[in-house]
Structure 1
């Protein structure tokens, strides 16, 4: 006889908490150049939010929500981390020289960007991919 779970409160709370964690991870990621944080911590928070969905629902639901292979996310993240320092070399500047500027985003205003942000995005994607690959591999064995 299969046990039926009644996790309505957990599942509803997960939907609210998921978006709070994602917004906090975005804040930590964007503030990482001026305060503690960045791609690694932001990636861990996104992985924690996805893990919360996995706990509240199940692995099939998570795969339906995000039908992606997290190993590909690892590759994209590592490619960004690898390509960022070579951008400076291609421009004829020293290895890992950073470029910066201001970008106007409609509705959000001015965003100060930096090539270190590309590196941090790569780190974030690599961390998310690694954590979720490990978690999904363990979860599939049950």
Structure 2
């Protein structure tokens, strides 16, 4: 697209969607949300950037190949289940850490893995579709 308004607004919207996706990712183990929804939100931000400024602009913002993101996410999600297997004999029995009001654990690592896997998968699909789209 060659819209100056969309191009200018897409950068702001991209940053906003990334911040919201990270918020959704973090709150996911306590409230609705998590890695899947957060990954979809981040991928939508990259899709808006690719639609407004082209695929190459979106690829420059990703900095990593989407398939590498998928692989890293799958490995992280797999590794997050191993502490429970070793400690309690049950895969994905999560460990929890508490420090005052802040609490986290291996569930957050699992959600980050899902976030990266979803982001990489959707980005690979979206960027490929935009590359094949003929110029109007």
User: CA contact under 8 A between 2:73 and 2:114: conserved in structure 1?
Assistant: yes
TM-score (norm 2): 0.87
The range that moved more, 92-101 or 70-79, is: 92-101
From 102, 120, 127, the equivalent of 1:129 is 120
Per the alignment, residue 50 of structure 1 pairs with 46
Per the alignment, residue 88 of structure 2 pairs with 93
SS of 2:116's partner is helix
SS of 1:33's partner is coil
CA distance in 2, matches of 1:47, 1:133: 10
Query: Is 1:37 the equivalent of 2:33?
Result: yes
The Cα of 1:74 is off from its aligned counterpart by 0.5
Report how many aligned residue pairs link the two structures: 132
Per-residue deviation, residues 31-87 of structure 1 (Å, max 9, x unmatched): 112221100000000000000100110011122232321101111111111111112
Query: Is 1:23 the equivalent of 2:14?
Result: no
Query: Is 1:141 the equivalent of 2:136?
Result: no
CA distance in 2, matches of 1:19, 1:67: 15
Structure with higher helix content: 2
